[in-house]
Amino acid sequence: GAGVSQSPSNKVTEKGKDVELRCDPISGHTALYWYRQSLGQGLEFLIYFQGNSAPDKSGLPSDRFSAERTGGSVSTLTIQRTQQEDSAVYLCASSLSLYLTATDTQYFGPGTRLTVL
């Protein structure tokens, strides 16, 4: 079946512009996660959704970052007034529920590579 998809795959923008990144999770997955991956860094957790609700937004790096999820499905991560330090790969993952097991695990999308000039 279809996995997690993300769009665009690559995004080049100018400093100060807003960008919107999209994630389509696996159908039926109630949990959705956003991570940021920079060269040499681990996956930095940004935010998660249980259904349409984001209980904890403390992982977002600044108030320029926001995310929403609608219909328990598609999620968008918006970065306003982009800065060069925002350049990274943004990964989305989904899972059947928040409780991960060997069989009910996170499935990652291919990521959006963001470059801020």
Partner 1 sequence: QKEVEQDPGPLSVPEGAIVSLNCTYSNSAFQYFMWYRQYSRKGPELLMYTYSSGNKEDGRFTAQVDKSSKYISLFIRDSQPSDSATYLCAMSQGNYGQNFVFGPGTRLSVLP
Q: How far is the CB of 87 from partner 1 (least distance, A)?
A: 16
Closer to partner 1 by Cβ: residue 41 or 84: 41
Q: Which of 45, 72, 76, 80 binds partner 1 (CB under 8 A)?
A: 45
Closer to partner 1 by Cβ: residue 100 or 117: 100
Please choose, from the candidates 78, 73, 40, 39, the residue with its C-alpha nearest in 3D space to the C-alpha of residue 61: 78
Q: Give one word for 16, left, alpha or beta, with left for phi > 0 and alpha for psi -120 to 50.
A: left
Using CB atoms within 10 Å of the CB of residue 103, give its burial: 0 to 12 exposed, 13 to 18 middle, 19+ buried: exposed
**CB neighbours of 62 closer than 8 A, spacing ≥ 6?**
none
| Total number of residues that touch partner 1 (CB under 8 A) | 26
Q: Tokens in use for 42?
A: 């681990």
Please choose, from the candidates 47, 46, 63, the residue with its C-alpha nearest in 3D space to the C-alpha of residue 55: 47
Q: Which of 41, 53, 70, 84 binds partner 1 (CB under 8 A)?
A: 41
- The answer to whether residue 93 forms part of the interface with partner 1 (CB under 8 A) is yes
- The answer to whether residue 109 forms part of the interface with partner 1 (CB under 8 A) is yes
Contact residues: partner 1, CB under 8 A: 4, 31, 33, 35, 40-43, 45, 48, 56, 91, 93, 95, 98-102, 105-111
